[in-house]
Amino acid sequence: MNPPTAKPAPDTDTKLMQSVAERAARRTFWLTHGERSLARNLAMIGALGWLVITPTLVGVFLGRWLDRLFKAGIFWTGALIVAGLTLGCWLAWRRIEEIQREDPS
């Protein structure tokens, strides 16, 4: 006796079809436009680095100032480093998604 086969949920089929369509679109784009240049990739890496490091450094300087002002050791510095790093990573993530929408290669 054969066990009954479960049909995938309709939204699973939709997600799969959407995924396949996106992959086909990326491949078509790549075939027509080619890869991004090395210079463009390096520029993107540099821009992403600045997006992460700038809020982190702002957190460091603001935290050091607050620690000196309130004589709090490194309390504010540590907290604002984490906040700045979190903000910087979120900004970089959004920028990567934006680049992928513009240039799906």
User: Which residues, 6+ apart, have CB-to-CB distance to 34 below 8 Å?
Assistant: 105
Domain boundaries, the chain: 53-105
Question: Cα(60)–Cα(78) distance, rounded to whole angstroms?
Answer: 8
- Output the six-digit token pair for 80: 């604002």
Number of helical (H) and strand (E) elements in the chain, helices listed first:
3, 0
Provide the whole-model pTM. Answer: 0.71
Taking residues 32-53, what's their average pLDDT? 92
Q: Specify the pLDDT at position 64.
A: 98
For residue range 62-71, what is the model confidence (pLDDT) as tens digits?
999 999 999 9
